[in-house]
C-alpha cells in the first residue's frame, strides 16, 4: 500500500535529517508542498543514497537562513539549505534544488551578465562543482535530474532532449566524475549526466533513444 502524501513528507524529512550533523535544519519539505514538489524531494533522497552507498561520497546538509529546500526556479541562493558531497581524491560537489543554469547557447553568444529567459533552463535537482554561484554555466553542471509525477508524454521527452542540447554537444563518450553510478561516461561534451524520473512506467520506453544522447529515463514511483 502506498503512503499518503503526508506520510511521504515525514519519510523524506526523516531521511534528510540523517545528513544533518548539527540537527538544526528542521523539516526541509513543507507540510503544504504539492505532490510534484514532494516527488522531487523523494527522488533527491534516492540520488543522495546512491551517491553515498555506491559512490562513497560523504554527504552533509548545509543549512541556510531559509527553513525549506529551494522550490522555485532561479539562481543558486545560499540562503537555502543544500547538500555537499565529498570523498578522498575529490571532486567536491554541491547539490541544489530548482536551479536554472546558463545555457550552452548563452556561452557561445559571447554575452555576459545575467542570462535572459531564453538562455537559462531549470533543473529540478542539480549537482555542480564546489563553490559555483549564481546561474551555473552549462559546463558547471555535473549531474541534472528532472522529475515528473504525472503521466509521461512524448513532449516531455522532447523537452528533456532540448535541455540536453543546452548542456552539451554530442561527442564520443567522455568520462564523468563518477566511478559507477549513475554512469562512468556519457556521449557529451562537457560530460554532464542527465537523468529523468517519472511515476509513469511508460517513461522507460524512451530510454533506448535517450541513451544515444546521454539521457537516462527511469520509472520510480512514490513510496
Coarse DSSP helix, strand, coil percentages of the chain, rounded to the nearest 5 percent: 30, 30, 40
Cβ atoms of 96 and 116 closer than 8 Å: no
More confident residue, 25 or 145: 145
Mean pLDDT of the 153-177 span: 97
What is the pLDDT, as a whole number, of residue 110?
86
What is the pLDDT, as a whole number, of residue 216?
98
Q: What count of Cα atoms within 13 Å lies in the side-chain half-sphere of residue 109?
A: 16
Mean pLDDT of the 27-33 span: 92
Residue 136 pLDDT class (50, 70, 90 cuts): very high
Dihedral of CA atoms 119, 33, 131, 21 in degrees, nearest 10, equals -170
- pLDDT exceeds 80 at position 22: no
- pLDDT exceeds 70 at position 56: yes
- pLDDT exceeds 90 at position 182: yes
Nearest CA among 145, 188, 160 for reference residue 50:
145
What is the pLDDT, as a whole number, of residue 52?
98
- pLDDT exceeds 60 at position 153: yes
Mean pLDDT of the 79-108 span: 95
Residues with Cβ within 8 Å of 31's Cβ and at least 6 positions away in sequence, in order, are 6, 9
Cβ atoms of 217 and 198 closer than 8 Å: yes
What is the pLDDT, as a whole number, of residue 1?
56
Mean pLDDT of the 52-70 span: 92
Amino acid at each position: 500500500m502506498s503512503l499518503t502524501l503526508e506520510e511521504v513528507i515525514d519519510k523524506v524529512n526523516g531521511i534528510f535529517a540523517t545528513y544533518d550533523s548539527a540537527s538544526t535544519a528542521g523539516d526541509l519539505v513543507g507540510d503544504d508542498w504539492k505532490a510534484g514538489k514532494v516527488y522531487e524531494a523523494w527522488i533527491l533522497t534516492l540520488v543522495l543514497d546512491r551517491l553515498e552507498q555506491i559512490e562513497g561520497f560523504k554527504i552533509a546538509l548545509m543549512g541556510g537562513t531559509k527553513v525549506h529546500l529551494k522550490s522555485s526556479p532561479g539562481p543558486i541562493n545560499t540562503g537555502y539549505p543544500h547538500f555537499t558531497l565529498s570523498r578522498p581524491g575529490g571532486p567536491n560537489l554541491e547539490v541544489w534544488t530548482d536551479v536554472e543554469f546558463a545555457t550552452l547557447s548563452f556561452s557561445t553568444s559571447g554575452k555576459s551578465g545575467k542570462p535572459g529567459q531564453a538562455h537559462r533552463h531549470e533543473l529540478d535537482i542539480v549537482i555542480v562543482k564546489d563553490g559555483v554561484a549564481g546561474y551555473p554555466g552549462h559546463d558547471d553542471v555535473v549531474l541534472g535530474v528532472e522529475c515528473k509525477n504525472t503521466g509521461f508524454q512524448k513532449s516531455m521527452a522532447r523537452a528533456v532532449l532540448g535541455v540536453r542540447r543546452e548542456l552539451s554537444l554530442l561527442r564520443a563518450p567522455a568520462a564523468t566524475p563518477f566511478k559507477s553510478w549513475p554512469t562512468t561516461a556519457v556521449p557529451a561534451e562537457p560530460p554532464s549526466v542527465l537523468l529523468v524520473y517519472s511515476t509513469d512506467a511508460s517513461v522507460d520506453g524512451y530510454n533506448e533513444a535517450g541513451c544515444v544522447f546521454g539521457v537516462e529515463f527511469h520509472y520510480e514511483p512514490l513510496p
